[in-house]
Amino acid sequence: MLWRWIKTVILLPFNVLVIIPAIVLYCSDYSWEMQNMLGMMLGILLLIVGFCLAGWTMRLFVKIGKGTAAPWDPPQKLVVAGPYCYVRNPMITSVLIMLIAESLLLGSGYIFGWFIAFLLGNIIYFPCFEEKDLEKRFGEDYLQYKHNVPRWIPRLTAWKKK
């Protein structure tokens, strides 16, 4: 199980948060300068929040879903616990939070541009592909969940299946 999780982290969020930003910065005229203290503190706070949320969601996928976030090893059970009671895509939300943190910590508009591209890609991908697959795999349970829990903007209260 540990290898499944490590492989998923290396191939998915590591590429989005480390490899692609490194390529973006390498191909740009970026040079690091000390950022203002408020930007640094906000960036650190967002990085911690995003990292904790990512760890929590991945743990739920393994523990409850009996799978990972990877398309080649998807959860076998629908996960509707923890942050998934508030929003359908907290794992992507965690990555988006960490990308914003990176752009603040590095003071890079290029990384913010990558954040926008990644966000737009997911705005298209989820309703067109991911959700259709989840509807097939989990049927009425997923449709009820989808009807009650928003895709991106969290609910104020936790949703509980009736």
CATH of the domain at 131: 1.20.120.1630
* 7 falls within a domain: no
148/34: higher pLDDT? 148
- Number of domains composing the chain: 1
pLDDT of res. 148: 96
pLDDT of res. 4: 64
Predicted TM-score (pTM) of this structure: 0.90
Q: Residue 162 — very low, low, confident or very high, per pLDDT cuts 50/70/90?
A: confident
Q: Per-residue pLDDT tens for 21-33?
A: 999 999 998 887 7
Query: In whole angstroms, what is the distance from residue 9 CA to residue 16 CA?
Result: 10
pLDDT of res. 139: 95
Q: Per-residue pLDDT tens for 40-89?
A: 999 999 999 999 999 999 889 889 998 877 777 788 999 999 999 999 99
pLDDT of res. 71: 75
* 37 falls within a domain: no
* 3 falls within a domain: no
Could you list the residue range(s) of the whole structural domain that residue 158 is in? 42-162
* 103 falls within a domain: yes
**Three-state SS sequence of 73-88:** CCCCCCCCCHHHHCCC
Residue from 102, 96, 6, 94 nearest 56 by CA:
94
Does the pLDDT value for residue 13 go beyond 90? no
* 156 falls within a domain: yes
* 127 falls within a domain: yes
28 CB-side CA count, 13 A? 16
Query: In whole angstroms, what is the distance from residue 158 CA to residue 139 CA?
Result: 21
Compute the radius of gyration of the chain from its Cα atoms: 17
Residue from 48, 27, 21 nearest 107 by CA:
21
* 49 falls within a domain: yes
pLDDT of res. 9: 67
Using CB atoms within 10 Å of the CB of residue 88, give its burial: 0 to 12 exposed, 13 to 18 middle, 19+ buried.
Answer: buried
Does the pLDDT value for residue 133 go beyond 70? yes
* 15 falls within a domain: no
